[in-house]
A and B are shown apart, each in its own frame.
Chain A
Amino acid sequence: MKCHVPGPNVKVLGRTVHALARFGDELYVESLADCVLLRTLNAAESAYAVVKFSKNFFSYFNYNYYSTEDNEGLKCKISMKSALHTFKSPTHMDKQVENLEIKLDPESCKLIFQLRCKHGIVKTHFVSILDCKAMQAVYTKDLVPNRITSPHKILSEALSNFQSSDDQVTVEVSSQNMLLRNYIDTLADLSKVIRTQVTLKPAEFDGYTIGADTMITFTLKEFKALLAFAEALSLPIQIHFETTGRPVVFIVHNGSTFEAHFVLATSKADNASQITTQNTTHNERTKRKDVSSSNHSARKKPNLNTDISKCLEEDSHLFNFIHIPEEHPVAVSTDGNVGNNNPQIENNMDCDVILPSPTAKALIRRVFKRCFEQTIDLTNIQGTVLAEDSDPDT
């Protein structure tokens, strides 16, 4: 991949990275024929963000530069810290940066960010690629009963009334109003905690459709991050949700060059069995193989659609492809832990949360050969070898 971001858009990219950094520690970059996708997932796997930059966001766009296979773009994972370092101060960048070039250097297995700044200064960051895979979540966005379009200001204003120690918020909606409350853990000492409630009327919003009265609870950390993102770019926020337990999707877009989706898992408010911090264990995930009854409260996990065919019918125009496993999955040696350790992908598709898309099998690229040296056993890859292995780098 090789692309150029014109000056004014560098700030947008910077703000995006800063927002995503408050979600997760790793940034997944994927280039497709018509766009670039940045994704991240938080450690608790309860918050996911994906930002799509269309071709017209860039002044130059070549998604498969360096690729030997015509329709394969870039798929990689870099450390969020490295990305943050490149976009250190977005407001500052607005005045300083004239152009940003992002390109892949397959030789050294690095993603190179080169900023051309005022006064002839050039800043180049050589960021190591941690892994060559993509990541994606599937979630419902459009067929939801509740949709609200909100100016970013009112939500920030409402949140300013809460204590900084509050870490979750409960949103209760009806057609009459929206109530925001700080969520109080049932284990907390009630004689010490302030309870705050803010009432917002439908007239405050640009759009307010409530098909089903409901109450959802989600974490404030990521919510504040996406609000700050909308505020920095002066854009409204669309909120799509259905009911407790199902994820809430926040959409921020400018109608032309980029669109950001922030998906937060919701938990049942005031549910005594809820613990505020927990890590979904793998055991739990594999246990829930049969999730046709989707009412099963997903504890802080975005809910995956249970039926793949349903996904394809959905009007999810941004994310209309899912990595469907091949008929005869190639057995891949996993000693290097490339990330794909689920040979039974078909079975897990319907109950697992976020799947790393198959990597080794279908997507090995000759050009990433060196990246895989330590992590993959090339002898297991089937298919025509277009080039002999050269000597591995020291």
Chain B
Amino acid sequence: MEKKEPVLQLKHVTKRFGEVAANEDISLDVYKGEILALLGENGSGKTTLMNLISGIYFPDEGEIYANGKQVVIASPRDAFSLDIGMIHQHFKLVDVLTATENIVLGLEEEGKLDLKKSAARIEEICEKYGFSMDPSKKIYDMSVSEKQTVEIVKVLYRGASLLILDEPTAVLTPQETQTLFGVLRNMKQDGKSVIIITHKLAEVLEISDRVAILRHGRYITSMDTDKVNAQELTDAMVGHAVSLNIERPIPKKPRDRIVVEGLTVKSEDGVVKLQNVGFHARSGEILGIAGVAGNGQKELLEAIAGLQPIESGSIRYLDEDGKEEELVGKDPQAIMELGVSLAFVPEDRLGMGLVGNMDLADNMMLRSFRNGKGIFTDRKAPRELAEQVVEKLEVNTPGIATMVRKLSGGNVQKVLVGREIANAPTVLLTAYAVRGLDIHSSYTIYDLINQQKKSGVAVVYVGEDLDVLLELCDRILVLCDGQVSGIVDARKTDKQEIGFLMTSVGGGTDAQ
């Protein structure tokens, strides 16, 4: 351990935003040829710290040393010249250009632009680290994982020896994640250092050599991965012991609540998003929806919620007495007026579920503003509901008069879920309910979903973490390319089967 040489050292680095210290007095070393996992709850300052290293933010205090020399990183260009490259969560690629063109874009190389030579060098890099990529393919023809490959190769092409990856696996299938990890291991062999931010503990344990933990903007500790387990990591991250088991009660008297048949949805430009989808969502049961992001999950939930124009098919709602209502062709207000209490936690929380520029109380009002007397809104009930949600779900906010966009991701989600379950729903639709949430908040959300299940709500849970889907749901529907490729019993299946269904259009066995 002693002879390891640090390629990057942070000493007493502090970054404040207003009164809030996002990073406070952080000292951290990164060694040559290691994979360091950066772990921490949301708002613990991981991304801020990485942005300091990659030149997006500038520290208020503290020093940064690269290869033993003190350096100033005032811009991403400075970071590049220090061979530091960051792969952001949101890709920064030009769609109409090829992989090669994207990779050389912005590089100031001597002489004429020689794309053939660049392509050859790219092939070389791919070969060396085990990427599979076609340098002449256009970005718009690429899958998410291919785009990510382009981003990584771009950084390597520029000669980076320290790579920072911000939640790289969030958008990948299990198989793609394995490929990525293989590449990361090859880089390690080559003496490159990698910092990886991820929320998934299983991945931390699998890929990293060392784990550094941040909590509330402070550096807590770093541990060698082979000497810790998931429970220890969680405890260190949260600061107290947390139970990692997700409860899964047996559904009580499940009855069909939503029956979808032959549902076909097209996007505005005529692309088929869902094709002939059919399933039953039952009361007191959690139906998981698995699939690679963008395979129709969003459209499916929005179709049920009355937000998608529907080509053909039917979505029927069955109430307690077995009375049926057709939801196709009705907008959210019409569905509400039918007496169908439908709660929907959409994927884009601030873009669809909430209004970022309004405060907590006004956001509660989104569902209830029509209840006021005459032409006026009732402001008292939403304010009380906001107080309740803040208290019950432990929302961390200065008060209910704070604008929602100023809250952290986990708190935003608590506000949204709190409002949606306040109306005693009979159907709860959630899309990526824990995306971007830390462990603690995620478990709060799982608990809330389970409570709804126990009180007889039909829950549809669109998720991306297969481990969670397998633990939380009763049945899992797998979508691939807008079609149902299988509905399986979550208690009897495994990751391999689901991973296979996720990539086989319409294939697999239908358990229904």
Q: Do A and B bind each other?
A: no
B residues with CB within 8 A of A = none
A residues with CB within 8 A of B = none
